[in-house]
Amino acid sequence: MNTRYESPNYATQAQYTQQGSQTANTPQVVNQEHSVTFQANGEDVKLAPSTVRNYLVSGDGKVTDQEVVMFINLCKYQHLNPFLNEAYIVKFGSRPAQLITSKEAFMKRAEANEHFRGSKAGVIVVRNNQIIYSQGAFALPSDTIVGGWAEVKRDDREEPIHIEISFDEFNKKQATWKDMPANMIRKTALVNALREAFPDSLGSLYTEDDKSETASVVPNQAEHKQAQKESAASSLISKALSKSQTKKEPAKHIEAKEAVPVTEMSEKRDPRDSEEEQIDIFKDQIERQKAAKEAE
């Protein structure tokens, strides 16, 4: 029995021959739904654009084709399994999508590195007017959480990688940060320490809580354009003010903000007016003397 195999993505050989020699070197794409298969944690992971859109996007925004391709490539080349929540997309409205990596993916990468020798992390609190470095996510109800700290050890470095971050800088004021502030700032500190300890494997990955990094990677285009407009306007105003300071103002110039009574005008007269009047009188005297000499 003869078995016939046909690719779902390209035209059959009969269709290809029927196209003629003009299209002999161009594959005819029938279905644009391309899936990508790669290895992650020793398992095969298959991703298709429709799967990403339907199951791996958080938020109310609609992801673009470019954002889907970028996410699939991120998972492929970083060997992340999005079905285990190691990576996902966050998009709200028309804002650019954020490609997020989970803390668990960071820990798996670190533990897979032969030089990794453990980590520890905690919170920084103010207790009785003293700075306390607390282990884990423990804090008293009376403590004020001001930051987080983390250390990562490698056997090929003399000193551990030590990170301290500010709570105000990373606090996103969301429900998880309000309900579990100690746990969130500890996790964020640990992720930053792991990224600095293993830049080759974690340097390009960011979690949802890396506020400043994710914002710099996918900026808001509308806010960026507005900032450019404001910067341009500020530059024009500065240039105009600079020119007005160097350029001599005309005599008897009155700003049109408010009507100034005649009495006030006489009292607030510009002292340069008298100088210009004296110059004009002096010029008149010279012209009269020249005219008298020519008449003689």
For residues 217 and 213, give the distance between their C-alpha atoms in angstroms, rounded to a whole number.
6
Q: Are 152 and 159 in contact (CB under 8 A)?
A: no
Q: How many residues in total does the chain contain? A: 296
Secondary structure of residue 2 in the 3-state scheme: coil
Over residues 222-249, the mean pLDDT reads 50
pTM: 0.54
For residues 136 and 185, give the distance between their C-alpha atoms in angstroms, rounded to a whole number.
10
- 60-74, 100-114, 199-213 — which is least confidently predicted? 199-213
Does pLDDT of 10 surpass 90? no
For residues 109 and 190, give the distance between their C-alpha atoms in angstroms, rounded to a whole number.
13
Kindly report, residue by residue over 91-135, the tens digit of the pLDDT. 999 889 888 888 888 888 888 889 999 999 999 999 999 999 999
pLDDT (0 to 100) of residue 108: 86
- 132-141, 195-204, 266-275 — which is least confidently predicted? 266-275
Q: Mean pLDDT, the chain, as a whole number? A: 73
